[in-house]
Structure 1
């Protein structure tokens, strides 16, 4: 009986982890609705391509702010013009959640 309970608990934990991973709006290649999440980013107040919430845990994307060559997923260079996509920082109803990091940017 104890072994069956342990096995059931293990299966539930694995199922919950799989569901949580599948629920991420950012795919494994680092795209959100066709937008590759790297490059030059402009912060706007309205009509953004992506609404973003900054979190400390369970982000969809780890973001490293760089000053040049934002070529890898999760590397963002904030600019005023010539952007690849725009973001609006929100507290409620974000499209994606990000966490700022100093190393290892990318998809969780």
Structure 2
């Protein structure tokens, strides 16, 4: 009986970890309180968010805009005074993004 309880407890922990990983981006289009829209500056270190660019199944679909980055997934790349500092990574990202031409946001 003790083995069954420990197995059940382990299974519950595994499912909870999977659910936490799946919910990286909140329903309000934020990650750890940072909105995923606005002016974004790409940095090499000390980033607010580590981002991996993917071709499928992103956490957020991102549309590059020249002005008015005022909705979920609309990013204006800037060199100074950013809303978000992001670092491109190839492994262990905080979030994954896919660049799109239309319909940005959480898929």
TM-score category of the 2 structures, normalised to the smaller one: 0.7 to 0.9
Partner of 1:102: 101
Partner of 2:85: helix, strand, or coil? strand
> C-alpha distance in 1, partners of 2:95/2:21?
14
Give the structure 1 partner of residue 46 of structure 2: 47
Structure 1 match to 2:69: 70
What is the 5 A alignment of 1:30-41? Answer: 30-41=29-40
Q: Which runs of 5+ in 1 are unaligned?
A: 1-18
Length-normalised TM-score, structure 2: 0.80
CA shift digits 1:3-29 (9 cap, x unpaired): xxxxxxxxxxxxxxxx67971300111
In the aligned structure 2, how far is the partner of 1:22 from the partner of 1:95? 10
**Structure 2 residues without counterparts, runs of 5 or longer:** 1-17
